[in-house]
Amino acid sequence: MDILPHLKELSRRTPSKILFVVLDGVGGLPREPGGPTELAAARTPNLDALARKANLGRLTMVYPGFAPGSGPGHLSLFGYDPLIYEVGRGVLSALGLGVDLGPDDVAVRGNFATLNPDGTVADRRAGRPSTDENRRVLAKLREHIKEIDGVKVELHTESEHRFVLVLRGAGLGARVHDTDPQKTGVPPLEARPHDESDEASAKTADILNKFSALARQVLADEPKINGVLLRGVSKRPVWPTLGEITGLTPAAIASYPMYRGVASLVGMTPLDVEIGDDPDAPRGKLAAIKNNWSAFDYFYLHFKKTDSTGEDGNFDEKVHKIELFDELLPELLALEPDVIAITGDHSTPSVMKAHSWHPVPFLLYGPYLRNDAATRFTEDEAAKGALGDLHGTNVLPLLLAHAGKLQKFGA
């Protein structure tokens, strides 16, 4: 169900402030049967204290059994049903980098990868190179690949192993399958149109296959970064913004381009963040919120490393990243938001090294709460919570209601 038209009718402006924290991929699983998840293993006195005063529940972002990507997961949390509002990762990453996309342009998210001599994938992320190394290798590709079959090729560094490929030319489609096989030991997939009769998407697929082959030639002498995996082929959609729908003045505090991109797509203002030595930039993000607290009434605050440590299969490091957020929480609460919510956009269990379909714990603190049996921000405790099991698109109306920003529905 598309809730956005109803929210547009019911929303009203108020001075109350909402702080919405997304700990990317925070949901997990036990490392061994009967053991704790990463959240349960973490020492989180501040989250525990907040949970005892809050209401908890569990979120499913898309549909039971569907493991959401970060784009669909975030769109769900922002109120946009991802089964209705579809967009590829390429557009989100491009927008997050500030790339201007025209209606005919196609954007693609790329991973640098390590390929074995037989052409199979050895490492889908090429050992997570530094962003400076990304820039060096991308400059090498940019020098050799400027155009393919009359279509202009643009390459942009995102971060670490990630880059963005933009195709600018006439007659391009975006209904193209990924080339990332999502596992090692097998060769990259060929780009193929979803429908063989779609000539525009077939043209794009052919260009992407030629780009992948050229990239392998150019990078043949590189020790680790010797291949590319492509996914999220997409064009920019035109959607109503959160401001148009709800009257909110929303801001986004995120350091990774993809998350700045999805926030920009729904009309949030991405705030500048001083990154420093840590790409997740917790202190820089806190400073950005403090410096802009009076200018906005909705703050989306994103932390990435709870996800990437899960994807790396590093249970202990994911626990550590959760604990680092817990140390920051008192300073966020000191801002005295009227409503604060904490959740993830999906689960990334370390034992799976991948996004999963498991529900994500959701914490909501504000006025007008009911009694709640949960005492910690964990998966098991969230199952006891007063909010019950919800869809991700339920989050936005709950935040608005607790902030006094929704009028009564019906007579």
- Lowest-pLDDT range, 49-53, 126-130, 328-332? 126-130
257 confidence band (pLDDT: 50, 70, 90):
confident
Question: Among residues 2, 167, 191, 164, which one has the least CA distance to residue 92?
Answer: 164
Domain endpoint, select from 234, 263, 281: 234
- For the cut 90, the answer to whether the pLDDT of residue 188 exceeds it is yes
- Cα dihedral 26, 31, 37, 43 sign: negative
- Dump the DSSP string for 207-241: HHHHHHHHHHHHTTT-SS--EEEEEEEE-------
Assess contact for 362 and 58: CB atoms under 8 A: yes
Amino acid at residue number 195: D
Instruction: Give pLDDT, residue 411.
Output: 82
What is the distance between the alpha carbons of residues 271 and 291, in angstroms, rounded to a whole number? 10
The answer on 205 and 132 residing in a single domain is yes
Q: Is residue 409 part of a domain?
A: no
Going by the DSSP 8-state scheme, the letter that residue 393 receives in this structure is G
115: β partners: 121
Element (H, E) at 151: strand 151-159
What is the distance between the alpha carbons of residues 400 and 370, in angstroms, rounded to a whole number? 17
Domain endpoint, select from 180, 213, 234: 234
Which residues form the domain of 225?
Answer: 94-234
Instruction: Give pLDDT, residue 278.
Output: 82
Q: What CATH number has the domain bearing residue 42?
A: 3.40.720.10
The answer on 252 and 383 residing in a single domain is yes
Each residue's pLDDT tens digit, 132-179 = 999 999 999 999 999 999 999 999 999 889 999 999 999 999 999 999
pTM: 0.85
Domain endpoint, select from 185, 209, 234: 234
299: β partners: 19, 251
The answer on 301 and 276 residing in a single domain is yes
Instruction: Give pLDDT, residue 402.
Output: 97
Each residue's pLDDT tens digit, 345-401 = 999 999 999 999 999 999 999 999 999 999 999 999 999 999 999 999 999 999 999
Helix 315-333 crosses helix 282-292 at what angle (to 10 degrees)?
Answer: 20
Q: Is residue 281 part of a domain?
A: yes
Contact residues for 52 (Cβ-Cβ < 8 A; gap 6+): 374, 375
The answer on 390 and 249 residing in a single domain is yes
Write out the two tokens for 340. Answer: 């604060």
Q: Where are the alpha helices (DSSP H) in 159-221?
A: 199-218
Question: How many domains does the chain contain in total?
Answer: 2
Amino acid at residue number 157: T
Each residue's pLDDT tens digit, 215-246 = 999 999 999 999 999 999 999 998 999 999 99
Instruction: Give pLDDT, residue 88.
Output: 87
For the sheet with 250-253, list strands across it.
Answer: 269-270, 250-253, 298-303, 18-23, 339-343, 360-365, 55-60, 388-391
Question: Among residues 403, 344, 342, which one has the least CA distance to residue 47?
Answer: 342
Question: Among residues 50, 25, 55, 48, which one has the least CA distance to residue 38?
Answer: 25
Percent helix / strand / coil, the chain, rounded to 5: 35, 20, 45
The answer on 78 and 99 residing in a single domain is no
The answer on 245 and 208 residing in a single domain is no
Q: Is residue 170 part of a domain?
A: yes
The answer on 128 and 266 residing in a single domain is no
What is the distance between the alpha carbons of residues 144 and 148, in angstroms, rounded to a whole number? 11
Q: Is residue 386 part of a domain?
A: yes
- For the cut 90, the answer to whether the pLDDT of residue 1 exceeds it is no
277 confidence band (pLDDT: 50, 70, 90):
confident
Each residue's pLDDT tens digit, 82-126 = 999 989 889 989 998 989 999 999 999 999 999 999 999 999 999
Q: Is residue 245 part of a domain?
A: yes
Task: Write phi, then psi, for 235 (nearest 5 degrees).
Answer: -115, 155
Residue with tokens 């802009």: 292
Element (H, E) at 122: strand 121-123
Region 22-33 average pLDDT: 97
Q: Is residue 135 part of a domain?
A: yes
The answer on 367 and 259 residing in a single domain is yes
The answer on 244 and 210 residing in a single domain is no
> Average model confidence (pLDDT) for the chain?
96
The answer on 246 and 118 residing in a single domain is no
Q: Is residue 407 part of a domain?
A: no
Q: What is the CA 120 to chain-centroid distance, rounded?
A: 28
The answer on 181 and 205 residing in a single domain is yes
Instruction: Give pLDDT, residue 159.
Output: 85
Going by the DSSP 8-state scheme, the letter that residue 271 receives in this structure is P
What is the distance between the alpha carbons of residues 194 and 252, in angstroms, rounded to a whole number? 33
Q: What CATH number has the domain bearing residue 220?
A: 3.30.70
The answer on 149 and 53 residing in a single domain is no
Q: Is residue 340 part of a domain?
A: yes
